[in-house]
Amino acid sequence: MGTRALPLPCQFELLLGEDRDRWLPEARFIEAAHRGDVRGIKEIAKELDVHGHGIPVTVASTSYMGMNALHAAGSRGRLPTYEYLVEEVKMDINKPDTSQDYSPVEHAVTYGNLPAVRYLLIKAPMCINNVQETSVFFIQLQLMGIVK
């Protein structure tokens, strides 16, 4: 089994060790997004904001191992996490990660996070990337009630 089949926190534990206090703040930030922990996202962003740009700018610009908070939220992220990242922080729904070239909706589709898929498609109906375009488009049509 490759590391991509492991949940994100397990991947980080393999790479960084089990002691999360020793992880880089960026890794803890991405894990907080994965868990859907908006408070944790904000707290770690405050720690990362060494230049005084503010929490929303820091949240939107922080990435680790090719993914940002919106990508990481795809597997287990809860709707309040998406609402915070999309509506308050104004993160780009269409921006692919740099490791797999997956958009946030493709991450949500990959992990079967249907509430996230539904939310992202409502917010940006054409948030389709080139990797799984057919699958995402089909799911979009199903959600819109066009196909069953």
Q: What is the tens place of the pLDDT at every residue in 22-65?
A: 999 999 999 999 999 999 999 999 999 999 999 999 999 999 99
The predicted model gives 6-34 an average pLDDT of 89
Query: What does each C-alpha distance from 84 to 1, 12, 17, 46 come to in angstroms?
Result: 34, 24, 29, 15
* Residue 1 reports pLDDT greater than 50: no
On whether the CB atoms of residues 76 and 34 are closer than 8 A, the answer is: yes
Using one digit for the tens of pLDDT, what is the confidence trace for 71-118? 999 888 789 999 999 999 999 988 999 988 888 988 888 888 888 888
Q: Which residues contact 38 (CB under 8 A, 6 or more apart)?
A: 80, 81, 84
Residue 104 corresponds to which tokens in the numbers above?
């946030």
Q: Which domains does the chain have, with CATH numbers?
A: 8-143 (1.25.40.20)
What is residue 9's predicted lDDT score, i.e. its pLDDT?
A: 78
Residues β-bridged to residue 63: 68
Per-residue confidence (pLDDT) for residue 94, from 0 to 100: 87
Non-local (6+) Cβ contacts of 66 within 8 A are 97, 98, 99, 100
Q: How many CB atoms lie within 10 A of CB 27?
A: 20
